[in-house]
Amino acid sequence: MNNVILPLDSGIATLPLAGGKGANLARLARWGFPVPPGFLVTTPVYHAYVAANGLQAVIDAALTSLDPAQADPAALQAASETIRGAFAAGALPPETAAALRRAYAALGEPPTAVAVRSSATAEDLPETSFAGQQDTFLQVVGADDLLTAVAACWSSLWTARAIGYRARNGIPHAGIGLAVVVQQMVASEVSGVLFTANPLTGHRGEMVIDATFGLGEALVSGQVEPDQYVVDVAARRIVRRQLGAKATVMRGRAGGGTTTETADGSRRQALPDDVILRLAELGTAVAARFGTPQDIEWAWADGRLFLLQSRPVTSLFPLPDALPDDLPLRVMFSFGAVQGILDPLTPLGRDLLMGAFAGLATLFGQPRTLQTQRILYEAGERLFIDVTHLLRHPLGRRLLHAALRLVEPGAAQALAAVAADAHLQPAPGWFRPATVGRLLRFFGPFLRRVPAVLRRPERARMRMQQGIDVLITDMAHRGRLATTLAQRVDLLEELMRSGFARLLPLLLPPVVSGLASLNLLTRLANSVGHDVLLLTRGLPHNVTTEMDLRLWQAAAAIGQDAAAREAFARRAAAALAADYLAGKLPPRAQTAVADFLEAYGMRGVGEIDLGRRRWREDPTQVMQTLQSYLRIPVAQAPDAVFARGAAAAETAVANLEEALRRTRGGKLKARLARLAFERMRALAGLRESPKFTMIQVFGTTRAALLASGEALAAAGLLDAADDVFYLHAAELREMAAAPGPGWRERVAARRAAYAREQQRVQVPRLLLSDGRAFYEGVTGAAAGDLTGSPVSPGVVEGRVRIVFDPVGTRLQPGEILVCPGTDPAWTPLFLAAGGLVMEVGGMMTHGSVVAREYGIPAVVGVHQATRRLQTGQRIRVDGSVGVITLLEEA
């Protein structure tokens, strides 16, 4: 049996042969780290056992009835029991048993106590640790017990928890195998776990050590409260220590197996300080060799440290690869949080945004390219904005804090804590005289136009729209002229270089004027205790609101036609979408949907990413929303609700004027409030226009690149047209110059990385260059209540509907929409929703703005709302104070 039982330091102990644990231990042994001696029982031995006992048929039959999406515990347990029963009834092939006996005898004079550990090919991976899913047997003594333990390890590949874990993480059952690590037992005086980066905060400069007396199994299985030590790696100093009870001690028995005893270890530190620091140094060396933070199991015996296992710390949010090292600490803010979307971005989508910011820097007299820009950085397939220079200047800090309070209050809270860090000492940063001069020269002409805009807001708004129309027409014309991949990459790079240069002169003066009017109105309203949010109800000229009302008009047209109404009542949304694309909807419905998509088909979920599909390509979400709209009672028609909101705003400003007149200088204040209200109503709705214009331009560029993708797929260079978005701009240019093999494999790896990141439950609002990550939203105040930022006033009670993707969602009228965040593609759901709860967002994010205009109570920045609430629960949402109260369980 060549290469089926290997020495622990074998150079061929790869993941497929030795499993994750075995491969990592083999590397540690080869690198000279203190690893107990032993051997590896490789995966071919497992597969030989399965074949010899006819187990594959049993496995296949047991798994056939499982639904991966449901992961029903009872069904998982039943499948596991069937499979493991068959494993227990099997017999080792004679040659396997003989080889194991020889390897065991070579470890030393019997009876040698060994640890027998499972090592699956799907564990201890960079993206999924799979820790603890298979069995370990300690203090195994004698060859017969070793053979039994090895077979039991193989069987543990099919525990209910291991089957469920693979299903949840998209790891196929077919083809997996399990190796077994056999090592001499270490009679641990103290043992534990070392994290070479702080797993709670993400800090890469801190190590966390858990330690207890005796064997570490009591710790990893949760039977004991250990000591915990936190080490500052750079200073070689223990910065925090907490002594645990350590009330249970596990030790090996001479004849085999383990025993536990009770003890009071709360007054004794398990590991001396000097050993703690030695262990931290060892951890630093291990992490450096692996190139990533490690979770290390260790033991201390007879004055020596031993490493028993090492695997990646998969819970850490990754850091950007290319951060400059000119500052001791950098602070980055989630770009996705501004957009209300925390999904990953495709490689080409990231390129476009990073290139656009490079173009913006060039406008400010700081020439940058996609490669040299230093504003946006990629981490976890997402983008983060470097705000360090703003934080290091008092004025910049105030401006940043004020801006974040509007768009992401949770991030503003975290930022206030971070700003006190000693590494963020005041410095000129971007506020050097030369930089300020460049900013003034750039923004000065726009700001000088603000008074004219405020004098004649309607004229300014019309001129802005005319300029946008010219820009869109020009980009569409360029898109038609670009017929080769190289020309289309040129178009993309031109958009990066000049996008902001063309958009800002058009959009900045009216948008700034609208926000300035709103700010003045807010100050006046606050001075007499009035809620300014009431003044923003039914706000006109918001392109997102107009889009939703346009879709309502399409629903109304469909509802007036019997054939169209019946089709939408009976058929699934996906079937309706397919019929539309084939031109087979009932004529009234085909026309209504076509008219809507002609105006808004370039939109879609996650539309800020050039690589995400648009409604014109797949209108399933549009069909689902239309089906929801057709169930809305006439009295709750969105256009009527919007009109009532506008009337309520007029009443609110009249009440505000009356209240101001009763104050000192009241007549002037009341007149000022009326002027600010009128200009706010004329201009504040334009806040959504910059992004909508950008998405229109993106739509033209995406369509052109998809045409090239179709040609490349037809030529066999790519698998699908949209594979082009999983390549970078430079790679597309390379492909255009020299088409060749290898691109499909590169795209497959990128798609896999994107899919893994889609499974990430939490994304930090703030990310620091030392690894610290801040996830929290607004903290709660009352026991049992969830709290966040109030962004749309009113109180509503209703049933919760948790939604992670608007595609596939048919919201029932009055349900409370609870979601991670929203972009404009989500907002059609708002017309059916009774209220809104989001995990991210602030006063001026898309969802908040639209919720106010529809009069939907909304609370945002609610930490882990989608995990703390459940679909079907009845809750009260108070959008005036930011409190969510549970009224009834599902």
Of 529, 521, 518, residue with least CA distance to 671: 521
Give alpha helix (H) positions in 53-124: 55-64, 73-89, 94-105
* Nearest to 843, CA basis, from 408, 366, 354: 408
Compute the distance between CA of residue 25 and CA of residue 868 in angstroms, rounded to an integer. Answer: 39
Catalytic residues: 846
DSSP 3-state of 736:
helix
Is residue 344 a contact partner of residue 758, using CB atoms and an 8 Å limit?
Answer: yes
- Can you point out the beta strands (E) in 280-426? 294-301, 304-312, 331-334, 376-379, 382-386
Q: Are 850 and 632 in contact (CB under 8 A)?
A: no
H/E run at residue 651: helix 638-661
Contact 485, 708 (CB under 8 A): yes
DSSP string, 209-271: EEEEEB-THHHHTT-S--EEEEEETTTTEEEEEE-----EEEEE-TTSSEEEEE---TTS-SS
Nearest to 218 by CA among 199, 236, 245, 200: 245
Contacts within 8 Å (CB) and 24+ apart, 389-393:
389/427, 389/429, 389/430, 389/431, 390/429, 390/430, 391/331, 391/415, 391/418, 391/419, 391/424, 392/424, 392/425, 392/426, 392/427, 392/429, 393/426, 393/427, 393/428, 393/429, 393/430, 393/431
For residue 831, give the nearest of 635, 689, 625, 688 by alpha carbon: 625
Rounded Cα distance between 592 and 623, Å, is 11
| CA–CA distance, 823 with 615 (Å, rounded to integer) | 14
Looking at the DSSP assignment, which residues form a beta bridge with residue 533?
none
- Which single residue is written with the structure tokens 């569409």? 476
389 near 366, Cβ under 8 Å? Answer: no
Which tokens sit at 797? 């009670």
Residues 6+ apart with CB under 8 A from 889: 870, 873
Cα gap 159→171, rounded to integer Å: 15
3-class state of residue 355 by DSSP: helix
Q: Which tokens sit at 824?
A: 């404009």
The rounded distance, in Å, linking the Cα atoms of 551 and 144 is 73
Question: Tokens at residue 860, please?
Answer: 């945002």
Q: Are 809 and 573 in contact (CB under 8 A)?
A: no
Pairwise CA distance, residues 527 & 657, whole Å: 12
Which of 201, 199, 197, 375 is CA-nearest to residue 286? 197
Rg (CA), the chain: 31
Closest CA to 195 of 221, 229, 225: 229
Q: Which residues of 122-141 are buried (b: 16+ CB within 10 A; e: fewer)?
A: bbbbeebbbbebbbbbbbbb
User: What's the half-sphere exposure (Cβ side, CA atoms, 13 Å) at 233?
Assistant: 23
DSSP 198: -
Dihedral, 281, 286, 291, 294 alpha carbons, nearest 10 = -90
Query: Among 260, 694, 737, 259, which Cα is nearest to 495's?
Result: 694
